[in-house]
Amino acid sequence: MKNLTIIFLAQDNAFEAVSATYGLIIILFTYILPSIIGRNKRNSTSITLINIFLGWTLIGWVAALIWAINDEDEFGKSRPVFKHPLSIKPPASMPLPFSQPGTKSVPEQLQLYKALLDDGAITLQEYDRQKQKLLNS
């Protein structure tokens, strides 16, 4: 009976050691998660330093995680969530029809306005107004 009790105690200690090890691995992985997510960012060093030195505070860990998840464009600037309609510019390869008056024929100008309408650079009302101006001239 004494030998059987020792075996059960040894199994309990082994189970506790394994579960404690797995728990520690999960906690460490969660702690460095912002550094893993932000490893390919332009500011990966800053994200990692914030994560390591301030991650023990919940605020530091959340700040590092948000910074790591934040989507950046090719210049390292954050992309705006909402883009104001007036900030939309037509592609640089497409010249504005009214920027070179008298150099294009009416059908060419109509095609350019239609392309601007299709790209969303002008509204349907603006397109109709410009079309009427061209057709009446």
Q: Is the pLDDT of residue 1 over 80?
A: no
Q: What one-letter code names the amino acid at 55?
A: G
Q: Is the pLDDT of residue 4 over 50?
A: no
| Domain identity same for 57 and 89 | no
Domain count across the chain: 2
Q: What number of other Cβ atoms are within 10 A of residue 116's Cβ?
A: 20
45, 69, 93: which is the final residue of a domain? Answer: 69
Report the phi/psi class of residue 23: left, alpha or beta, with left for phi > 0 and alpha for psi in -120 to 50: alpha
**pLDDT, tens digit (0-9, with 9 covering 90-100), for 21-69:** 888 899 999 999 999 998 888 888 888 999 999 988 999 999 999 888 8
Q: Is the pLDDT of residue 11 over 80?
A: no
Q: Which residue has the higher pLDDT, 59 or 108?
A: 59
| Domain identity same for 57 and 6 | yes
Q: What is the pLDDT of residue 26?
A: 92
Whole-number Å distance between alpha carbons of 109 and 93: 15
Q: What is the pLDDT of residue 93?
A: 57
Q: What number of other Cβ atoms are within 10 A of residue 72's Cβ?
A: 12
Q: Which residue has the higher pLDDT, 65 or 73?
A: 65
| Domain identity same for 11 and 54 | yes
Is 127 exposed, middle or buried (CB count within 10 Å of its CB: 0-12, 13-18, 19+)? middle
Whole-number Å distance between alpha carbons of 21 and 111: 69
In which domain, by residue range, is 113 found?
Answer: 85-136
Query: pLDDT over 70 for what percent of the chain?
Result: 66
Q: What is the pLDDT of residue 100?
A: 53
| Domain identity same for 58 and 98 | no
Q: How confident is the model over 89-96, as a mean pLDDT?
A: 57
Q: What is the pLDDT of residue 108?
A: 84
Q: Does residue 106 lie in a domain region?
A: yes
